[in-house]
Amino acid sequence: MTDTIFRYSIKAIIIKDGKFLIEQVNQGRGEFYKLPGGGHHFGETIHGALHRELKEELGLEADIGTLLFIRDYLAKNHDMEFDDPNFQQTELMFLCHVKDFSTLAQGTEPDKNQVICWKTASELEQIKFFPRKLVPYLQDPDKLQTQTETIYLGDIN
């Protein structure tokens, strides 16, 4: 029997002046961009995981708002040579509100392979941002602020 790997990843959608806070990542998989956040640990709540990740990686305190998007990623269905085909991840993407950005990039455990940056939705179209199919939903940052329904994106990359 082959071991399967499953994890929840909790992500933050943080908007300031029409731009999205994202992370540039280079972890031996090539350079790509993603929303900030990370893995859920056993014994913590979903919101607790996101608060921890934002504090550790970015140094930010945030109010967690609406669950905007859910994404599944089943590695066996995507042509990504670096992922174990038995890997599966479900991402929960929450709209987050940050009042004070003065501590940005002062996380308690920053990831040395990540660089924090701000990008507009049109700039996300031009770079290797994942998940790609999220970009059209990000075209109107003001609309995201009032979105009340959760959109399931499916098994996408």
In tens, the pLDDT along 106-120 reads: 999 998 889 999 999
In tens, the pLDDT along 3-48 reads: 889 999 999 999 999 999 999 998 777 899 999 999 999 999 999 9
70 exposed, middle or buried (CB, 10 Å; 0-12, 13-18, 19+)? middle
pTM of the model: 0.94
Domains of the chain: 5-155 (3.90.79.10)
Question: What pLDDT, on the 0 to 100 scale, is given for residue 81?
Answer: 67
Q: Which pLDDT band, with edges at 50, 70 and 90, does 82 fall under?
A: low
- How far apart (Å, rounded) are the C-alpha atoms in residues 122 and 46? 30
- How far apart (Å, rounded) are the C-alpha atoms in residues 117 and 73? 24
Question: What pLDDT, on the 0 to 100 scale, is given for residue 28?
Answer: 72
82 versus 65: the higher-pLDDT residue is: 65
Question: Computed over its alpha carbons, how large is the radius of gyration of the chain?
Answer: 15
